[in-house]
Amino acid sequence: MLEVGVGGRKDAHVDALRRRPRLAERIFVVRYEDACAEPQALVQRLLAFCGLADPAGRVAAAASTLCAPPDKDKVEEASVRAVREEAGEVAGRYGYRPPVAKAA
């Protein structure tokens, strides 16, 4: 497993980059939900951020195929717990929150 980080936090490198103004403006965070909700708009923003063009529209067309898998709700609970344990702290910094348990 590859873990990138400083001081034990896997995303500490992002904090380090953001503290350097010339580098901070070069960070573009992509959330999976945003990619699924509006893939073409996201790709257009990403291309603009990178200073790239898509004159033939191929990248934008390919972006339309981004979507959540149809059976995403069928992920085993053990897998969900493992991902939350591994990435929960970092995910929380980007607005992800574990779902609230439903009342029985």
Q: What is the pLDDT of residue 72?
A: 64
- Please tell me the pTM assigned to this model: 0.60
| Residue 104 predicted with pLDDT over 60 | no
The Cα 46–Cα 28 span in angstroms is 8
**Torsion, Cα of 33, 36, 39, 43 (10° steps):** 50
Domain residue spans in the chain?
12-93
Q: Pick the residue with more confidence: 9 or 21?
A: 21
pLDDT digits (tens, 9 = 90+) for 12-50: 776 777 788 887 788 888 888 888 888 889 999 999 999
For the ranges 52-61, 76-85, 93-102, the maximum mean pLDDT occurs at 52-61
Question: Can you read off the two tokens belonging to residue 11?
Answer: 């995303």
